[in-house]
Amino acid sequence: MEEGDPTLRLRIFDLNCWAIRYLSKWRQERVRLIGDMLLQDSFDLVLLQEVWSEQDYSDLKEKLRGCYPFSHYFHSGVIGSGLCVFSRFPILDTLLYQYSLNGYPYMLQHGDWFCGKSVGLVVTKISGIIFNVYVTHLHAEYCREKDVYLPHRLVQAWELAQFIRHTSGAADVMLLGGDLNMHPGDVGIRLLRGWTGLRDAFTEAARFEGCEDGCTLIPNNRFTVKAELLPFPQGVRIDYILYKAISSVTVKCEELKTTTGTAPGMDIPFSDHEAVMVTLHIQRQGQAAGDNLSTTEPALVDVVTETRTEVVVGLRAAQQQRHSTGRMAALALLLLLLQAAAALGALAGLVAGQPFPKLSFSLLAFLAIGVLLLATGLHLFHTMEVKMLQGTEEQMRMALRVLRERPSDG
């Protein structure tokens, strides 16, 4: 691809790297393998997720300096966002948007809350065309049958779509890569695509090579949890590259490839996810893609309504938890006050003798203080959750109003 060329061929690599320090198997070997492959097979843009160790990022950066001189790591949360981008072309600007909801701090076994899940934006200009490149990772789905995180993931999908819509005004092309933790037909994907007009590189690709149906989490990968994939013998597709031409530019997907359970020519995989590799063909003189919204408006109203229903279900659950944690805090406070009254009573000599053994009395007080602090913390957390779910629900209601009014407008 040359500067000034009227047509542009852009190669993009996307992978959830599963590089969690101390927890992910063969992490350092796999990161080294990813770096080797990126050096050999030169891409224009590399979008990575779950690079949790900043040391791994620094190592990759050092290794790839010659081929991908520009890069950015998105910091967020306690551990980091895990998101980073390597680019052959100068990165002109970046912005990070942290999702307002991201699971629960007390679900330690599902560490999502600590990761500060976000969407990162990188702006780059290639042959005079401005690209807004988004990379993200949404909340994991731990149990598809009873998915308690669905409202949070839908709030994230909504915020992602809103962030993309609002920040892409000055761009010619937008690209989104990442682990969306949603199957292609899920309401969140339909919402994201409908609300932004993004196209799915997999369905648009002229040529395809890789796992059946483009799956990116497959039983054939030695690191995937086989039990989770039992209902899906071929695997699932949850990693995506999406794109949209905004101004007078056309974008076509020439080719999409995935790895197939191992790194090419090796016997270990890059990650528990398969990599997605896309070749886009970008032409300047083409017709503008136009506002995709108008063509799909009735369907879009349905999708937003469906999402809103799920968000309201989440809102009810959050309100209930706010209520029950508040009640628990109140009970703990009551117990403490009773103990204080009893202790004061004993001190003032109103009660004869020493009515309670000291040790269990003070243990009980400490227990009450512990419960009070914990329940108050949870109550505050669920209050925030309620507010964010309410806010999203209101935004969706406004979106529905605008969607319904639009035909009468113009």
- Residues involved in catalysis: 273
CB of 400 to a second copy, least distance (A): 12
129-137 and 173-179 strand pairing: parallel
Closer to a second copy at the Cβ: 298 or 370?
Answer: 370
Q: Name the residue among 185, 193, 102 with its Cα closest to residue 140.
A: 102
Q: How far is the CB of 169 from a second copy (least distance, A)?
A: 2
Distance between CA 241 and CA 254 in Å, rounded?
Answer: 13
Among 10, 45, 47, 121, indicate the residue that binds a second copy (CB under 8 A).
121
Query: Which parts of 68-186 fold into alpha helices (H)?
Result: 150-167
Q: Does 22 bind a second copy (CB under 8 A)?
A: no
Of 1, 20, 67, 91, the one binding a second copy by CB under 8 A: 91
User: Could you say whether residue 108 binds a second copy (CB under 8 A)?
Assistant: no
Alpha-carbon torsion 87, 92, 97, 98, what sign? positive
Contact 51, 312 (CB under 8 A): no
Query: Segment near a second copy (CB under 8 A), from 23-31, 175-183, 267-275, 383-391?
Result: 383-391
Amino acid letter for position 225: V
Of the residues 5, 41, 93, 302, which one makes contact with a second copy according to CB under 8 A: 93
Residue 170, φ and ψ in degrees, nearest 5: -100, 0
Q: Which is nearer to a second copy, 116 or 177 (CB)?
A: 116
Q: For a second copy, which is the closer residue by CB, 253 or 399?
A: 399
Q: Strand 84-87 to strand 70-73: parallel, antiparallel, or no bridges (unpaired)?
A: antiparallel
- What is the 8-class DSSP label of residue 143? -
Q: Is 359 in the site for a second copy (CB under 8 A)?
A: yes
What three-state secondary structure class fits 346?
A: helix
Of 9-17, 142-150, 226-234, 376-384: span binding a second copy (CB under 8 A): 376-384
Q: Does 410 bind a second copy (CB under 8 A)?
A: no
Q: Does 92 bind a second copy (CB under 8 A)?
A: yes
Q: How many CB atoms lie within 10 A of CB 266?
A: 14
Q: Tell me the three state secondary structure of residue 400.
A: helix
Amino acid at residue number 32: R
Q: Which of 24, 49, 76, 196 binds a second copy (CB under 8 A)?
A: 76
> Residue 28 in contact with residue 42, Cβ under 8 Å?
no
Give CA–CA dist 80/25, Å, rounded. 20
- Nearest distance from residue 340's CB to a second copy, in Å? 17
Is 106 near a second copy (CB under 8 A)?
Answer: no
- Whole-number Å distance between alpha carbons of 134 and 385: 25
What string marks each residue from 141 to 180 as x (binds a second copy by CB under 8 A) or -?
A: ---------------------xx-xxxxxxx---------
Residues that bind a second copy (CB under 8 A): 72-78, 80, 90-98, 100, 116, 121, 162-163, 165-171, 358-359, 362-363, 366, 380, 383-384, 387-388, 390-391, 394-395, 398-399, 402, 405
